Chain A
Amino acid sequence: MNERAQNRVGLAVTVLTLTFVHFALAPVLDSWYFGPNLLACAVLIAAREVRPGTAASVGFVLGLLEDSMAVSHFGLATLLLLLIGFVGSLTRDLFLGEERLFMGTYLFAGTWIYEAASYLLMGAPGDPVAYLLLTAPLDAMATGIVGYLTLPVWRTR
């Protein structure tokens, strides 16, 4: 198996594992004050390795799974993760870096944007400043760390 194929297999395994853990461990992760958003992490990681259309498809599917767990605002996560995947994939043309620091920052920014957009569009209760400037960045930081730790699994080169 060549290096590219190995990367693809590693990427698919990573995305599936993150998705599985996101749903299976949701009760544990949700009980923390902040925690990684593994679904956003999976979409952002996939977006760095595939074309925009494929990344959008990954976002669409994972967003649909997320939306299926709630009664209201159905389709919001689908749309947002689709856009995150698409835009994330476009960053491949803007930032060619393979450094881990870049990946951490990219995952942080992507997750923060996703959670902030969800919060604002859902009209979720609570102090917006506290959420946008404290909870969401902490979630994004945790996501960045988890994403950083998964790099050796799917990037063999």
Chain B
Amino acid sequence: MLLAAVVIITLPHRHQLGLAKAVRSTVLAPVLRLQGGFYDMRLTSTRVEELRAERDSLAERVLVLKDVEEENLRLRGLMGLWERGANRFRPANLYPTKRGGEVVARSFRLDVGGEAGVTADAPVIAPGGLVGVVRVTSGGQALGDFWTHPDFRVSAMTADGSVFGIISPLGETPLLMRLDGAPYQVRLTRGTELVTSGMGGVFPRGIPIGRVTEATGEEAGWARSYQVRPLVYPEAVREVMVLVQRDSTETMEDVWSPSVSEGNADRE
């Protein structure tokens, strides 16, 4: 039995994922369906008033926006533009999966999978910004990592595209991020908004990630590091969108309203 456990640990990651998928879709399948039900129950019981108010305001907005949407579609059709955001995303419910020994959730399960067009490496976003990335999919579900996962990396830039760097979770403080590799000659001020740069081919350009809080270090006079406050916290996100149509050249800047950074990059 000990040997079997050691074999499981040393299996190639691809086989481990296959084994996990087999267990989830057989033994755990009924429990996971129930888990979703309990989750929704908990959510509705704690957020009834909030949801009611949200529904009322949404109903009002839908009425107002209906005409605008029709006009927008007509104009976009005339100009030969794509429909904004349509068919690019798949809505999903997200369930954090926290194991013993974890302070914050690092992985999650989605209730959509390969059947809905979700693929591995698909970005997962919430209205606030970047949530994480899908790692593996099966028929009706997918597993992924939050940005809190130690293996998570994303190429980032300032909203104006002047400074680039790599964002990773800040190890010692689980709910903060770190921007590394920012150029030395540029100093980012507190509140500067960071978005995905589109480099690396996983995350399209323009997904909000977080805001700079403070400078944390310099690397031998050629690069700077910053602490970043995320825009989305794993514990607070439940309904997400998964990007199902991906194109390495696409940008998501049109999906979020243009936001003005509280701070800007100051060139020294």
Q: A71-B143, A72-B145, A125-B148 are in contact. Are A40 and B24 (CB under 8 A)?
A: no
- Across the two chains, which residue of chain B brings its CB closest to A22? B31
Residues in B with CB closer than 8 Å to A28 are 38-39, 42
Of A6-14, A62-70, A91-99, the stretch lying at the interface with chain B is A62-70
Interface size on B, residues (CB 8 A): 56
In chain A, positions 4-51 with a C-beta closer than 8 Å to chain B are 20, 23-28, 30-31, 37, 39-40
Q: Is there an interface contact between A75 and B5, defined as CB atoms closer than 8 Å?
A: yes
Interchain CB contact (< 8 A) of A77 among B6, B100, B136, B171: B100
Q: Is there an interface contact between A70 and B107, defined as CB atoms closer than 8 Å?
A: yes
Interchain CB contact (< 8 A) of B27 among A40, A65, A75: A65
Interchain CB contact (< 8 A) of A125 among B11, B31, B151, B174: B174
Compute how far the CA of A73 lies from the CA of B135 in the bound complex, rounded to whole angstroms: 13
In chain A, positions 71-95 with a C-beta closer than 8 Å to chain B are 71-79, 82-83
Interchain CB contact (< 8 A) of A27 among B42, B102, B136: B42
Compute how far the CA of A120 lies from the CA of B100 in the bound complex, rounded to whole angstroms: 11
Of B14-22, B224-232, B253-261, the stretch lying at the interface with chain A is B14-22
Compute how far the CA of A24 lies from the CA of B36 in the bound complex, rounded to whole angstroms: 8
Q: Is there an interface contact between A118 and B136, defined as CB atoms closer than 8 Å?
A: no
- Across the two chains, which residue of chain B brings its CB closest to A57? B1
Interchain CB contact (< 8 A) of B35 among A24, A67, A71, A117: A24
Residue B165 CB within 8 A of the other chain: no
Q: Is there an interface contact between A70 and B143, defined as CB atoms closer than 8 Å?
A: yes
- Across the two chains, which residue of chain B brings its CB closest to A30? B98
Compute how far the CA of A124 lies from the CA of B143 in the bound complex, rounded to whole angstroms: 19
Compute how far the CA of A79 lies from the CA of B19 in the bound complex, rounded to whole angstroms: 15
Residue with the highest number of chain B CB atoms closer than 10 Å, among A27, A76, A77, A119: A27
Compute how far the CA of A145 lies from the CA of B95 in the bound complex, rounded to whole angstroms: 27
Q: A: which residues have CB within 8 A of B? A: 20, 23-28, 30-31, 37, 39-40, 53, 56-57, 60, 63-79, 82-83, 114-127, 131, 135-136, 139
Sample of 12 A–B contacts (CB below 8 Å): A24-B31, A26-B35, A31-B235, A65-B27, A68-B21, A73-B99, A74-B11, A75-B5, A115-B100, A116-B101, A125-B103, A126-B173
